Amino acid sequence: MGSVTGSPGSSIAPIAAAVTVLLLLGIGIYAVAVLDRLVGRAVAREPLRLRAVLIAPVREAALLLMQQRISTERPDAQLWAFAPALLGALAAAGLAVVPASGGSGMTGSIPGMSAGIVYFGAAMAIVMVAVFLQGWAANSVLPLIGGYRFVAQALSYEMPLALVLIAAALPAQSLSVVEIVRSQHAVWNVVRQPLGLPLYLIAASGLAFWGPLNFPDGADLVGGTAAELSGAPLLFWKAARTAVLVAAAAMGAAAFLDGWWGPFIPGPLWMALKTLALLVIIILAGHLLDRVRLERFVVVSWVVLIPVALVDVFLSGLVALWTGGQGGGP
């Protein structure tokens, strides 16, 4: 979703690309904020009130920007300011590698980079650092517990996340996200790797600590890593976390739903629609499912999700050998 549409060659100005990514990320954050409210109202069978819902995120952001910032006693101020920025930057870095369309000259751009899926994995692995620092830097108990919780949580979802992405790369015989999308034109990965997308969505909600997997920011910790935040830092923290969700959904659309490929409407629109569809699923799960206990999630993740993800890699490899072996790859 990050690249400038189909501009040929590597002549894309890096600044223009960065601005595009940030713009798309901003739109995505706003879309999630609106969707979250709409889905919440739909689940509660309340009237939707579209106009109010469309204005609500802007109103909340403006309110937070005007509010006073509070501080704790002797926080690690530099790291405290650094953590939300790092989280937002990682989301942008992750989104940058997701292609919005299949231009011919993708090789020089970030979406065309040969180890794109590893790049995404690396960016998402550092999310753990950002959330832990956010919890640690406040010099306060509840955020600290939230930070420690996220470390346990991250160690549990990271393996399934990495494994299903590896499985998605197998039929493409490439680690490049563009090639992964191209390999799905005949059969989408969501069809030929039925275990992949469900596991990915669970891992993605863990990554953005969303819905039932919101352990570090949970209500039982009175906000957890966000407990001591107020005003603009709270707004940035929420936005950065939502941005991570957007980036994860965009990568899910590229890795499992054939990215930009589709009839009638241009590629970037397909990409946006597929990303939105995945976001709706995650947000709906957040409203319908109750939060589980962290211990249970950790145990389920290591005992069930990781073995299932390994089975997914194995089956995907078999299918790829079976169907793509004689074709000679991409």
Partner 1 sequence: MREIVFWAMAIAAVVTAWRVFRADSMVRAAYWLMASFVAVGVILVLLGAEFLGLVLLLMMAGEMTIMAVFMVMFMMNPAGLNPMTMVHQHRTSIVAGVVAFAGLAGVGILGRFPDARVSEPDRATAQLGGELLGDSMLVFETAGVALLATMIGALAIASSKGRYGGADEGSAPPELGRAGEPPTTKAGERDTGEQRAGQHEAEDEHAGHGGTMSGMEM
For helices 116-125 and 141-169, angle between their N-to-C axes, nearest 10 degrees: 170
Out of 29, 31, 99, 136, name the contact with partner 1 by CB under 8 A. 136
- Cβ 212 vs Cβ 206: under 8 Å: no
Rule CB under 8 A: say whether 295 interacts with partner 1: yes
Rule CB under 8 A: say whether 158 interacts with partner 1: yes
- Cβ 123 vs Cβ 26: under 8 Å: no
Strands of the chain, DSSP E: none
Q: How far does Cα 25 stand from its chain's mean position?
A: 11
Place of tokens 């990303």: 275
C-alpha distances (whole Å) from 257 to each of 4, 24, 189, 290 are 20, 19, 7, 27
Q: How far does Cα 11 stand from its chain's mean position?
A: 28
- Cβ 183 vs Cβ 330: under 8 Å: yes
Which one, 79 or 319, has the nearer CB to partner 1?
79
Out of 119, 236, 237, 261, name the contact with partner 1 by CB under 8 A. 119
Q: Please tell me the distance from the alpha carbon of residue 109 to that of residue 221, in angstroms, as a whole number.
A: 42
Rule CB under 8 A: say whether 114 interacts with partner 1: yes
Rule CB under 8 A: say whether 182 interacts with partner 1: no
Which one, 128 or 164, has the nearer CB to partner 1?
128
Out of 149, 182, 241, 274, name the contact with partner 1 by CB under 8 A. 149
Q: Distance between the two ends of the chain, CA-based, in angstroms?
A: 22
Q: How far does Cα 211 stand from its chain's mean position?
A: 13
Rule CB under 8 A: say whether 132 interacts with partner 1: yes
Out of 3, 101, 134, 174, name the contact with partner 1 by CB under 8 A. 174
Out of 88, 111, 121, 171, name the contact with partner 1 by CB under 8 A. 121
> DSSP of 249-308, one letter per residue?
HHHHHHHHS-TT--SSS-HHHHHHHHHHHHHHHHHHHHHHSPPPPHHHHHHHIIIIIHHH
Give the range of 24-32, 141-149, 231-239, 251-259 binding partner 1 by CB under 8 A: 141-149
Question: How many positions of this chain bind partner 1 (CB under 8 A)?
Answer: 33
Rule CB under 8 A: say whether 298 interacts with partner 1: yes
Rule CB under 8 A: say whether 79 interacts with partner 1: yes
Q: Is the dihedral of CA 307, 311, 316, 321 positive or negative?
A: positive
Which one, 176 or 275, has the nearer CB to partner 1?
176
Rule CB under 8 A: say whether 118 interacts with partner 1: yes
CB neighbour list of residue 295: distance below 8 Å, 6 or more residues apart:
none
Rule CB under 8 A: say whether 178 interacts with partner 1: no
Out of 106, 133, 239, 246, name the contact with partner 1 by CB under 8 A. 133
State in angstroms the smallest separation of the CB of 317 from partner 1.
14
Give the range of 62-70, 152-160, 304-312, 319-327 binding partner 1 by CB under 8 A: 152-160
Give the range of 26-34, 48-56, 117-125, 197-205 binding partner 1 by CB under 8 A: 117-125
Out of 154, 163, 197, 305, name the contact with partner 1 by CB under 8 A. 154
Question: Footprint of partner 1 on this chain (CB under 8 A)?
Answer: 76, 79, 113-115, 118-119, 121-122, 125-126, 128-129, 132-133, 136, 139, 144-145, 148-149, 151-152, 154-155, 158, 162, 174-176, 294-295, 298
